[in-house]
Amino acid sequence: MKLLEERIVKDGVVKDGNVLKVDSFLNHQMDIELFNEMGKEWKRLYAEDKITKILTIEASGIGMAVIAAQYFDVPVVFAKKTQTLNLDGELYSTKVESFTHGRVYDVVVSKKFIHKEDNVLIIDDFLANGNALIGLIDIVEQAGAKVAGIGIGIEKKYQGGGDMIRNKGYRVESLAMIEKMGHDGIVFC
């Protein structure tokens, strides 16, 4: 998606440790006009899929998932990160290793909010090694629901998570795909 790529070039900052900082428009301050265009694009890509629910993970996936949901006319559920897991049978839970913090979180979703009839679109801001997505897919499948597809803002393709997930048979639509990046610039696929 040209608009997102141009914005990454204009306002993204490459940090050490393979981190792209996009906090001025994507995951701290949020550009809602840009999110609208991203939402429309995911809707165009998944128009045939009869999505019933969008699943994302706190915190930075929530904004774009909420805006996208207006085009799909479905609820958004966000998976919660917790360090005190109280397994009372009411929650689906999985473990996710955080890319940016290097910690393992328990991630939970109430069983009330995903059912086996659901056709779920998973949305997140970044795809790097794929750990966050593996956790979200696990939660959908614990519920017996279907992963209709995955919508990502920025995929750092060279980190391999996207290919690993595509190889498992899931559809991944990333609106910007980075081939490589460094302090001297960003190359898109």
Do 153 and 125 touch, CB atoms closer than 8 A? yes
Rounded CA-CA distance 64/32 in Å is 8
The answer to whether residue 12 forms part of the interface with ligand 5GP (CB under 6 A) is no
Q: Does 125 help bind ligand 5GP (rule: CB under 6 A)? A: yes
Crossing angle of helices 2-11 and 32-45, rounded to 10°: 150
Q: Are strands 53-57 and 76-82 parallel, antiparallel or unpaired?
A: parallel
For residue 27, state whether it binds ligand 5GP (rule: CB under 6 A). yes
Instruction: Please state, as a whole number, how many other Cβ atoms lie within 10 Å of the Cβ of residue 137.
Output: 20
Cα–Cα distance measured from residue 160 to residue 44, given in angstroms and rounded to the nearest whole number: 25
Among 20, 107, 136, 147, binds ligand 5GP (CB under 6 A): 20
Q: Which two tokens stand for residue 20?
A: 């792209």
Residue placing its CB nearer to ligand 5GP in the complex, 69 or 132: 132
| Least Å from the CB of residue 174 to ligand 5GP | 11
Which of these segments, 16-24, 29-37, 46-54, 72-80, binds ligand 5GP (CB under 6 A)?
Answer: 16-24
Q: Which is nearer to ligand 5GP, 6 or 90 (CB)?
A: 6
Does residue 100 bind ligand 5GP (CB under 6 A)?
yes
Cα(48)–Cα(15) distance, integer angstroms: 38
Minimum Å gap between C-beta 117 and ligand 5GP is 27
By the rule CB under 6 A, 60 interacts with ligand 5GP: yes
Structure tokens at 39: 């939402």
**What is the binding site for ligand 5GP (CB under 6 A)?**
19-22, 27, 60, 99-100, 124-132, 161
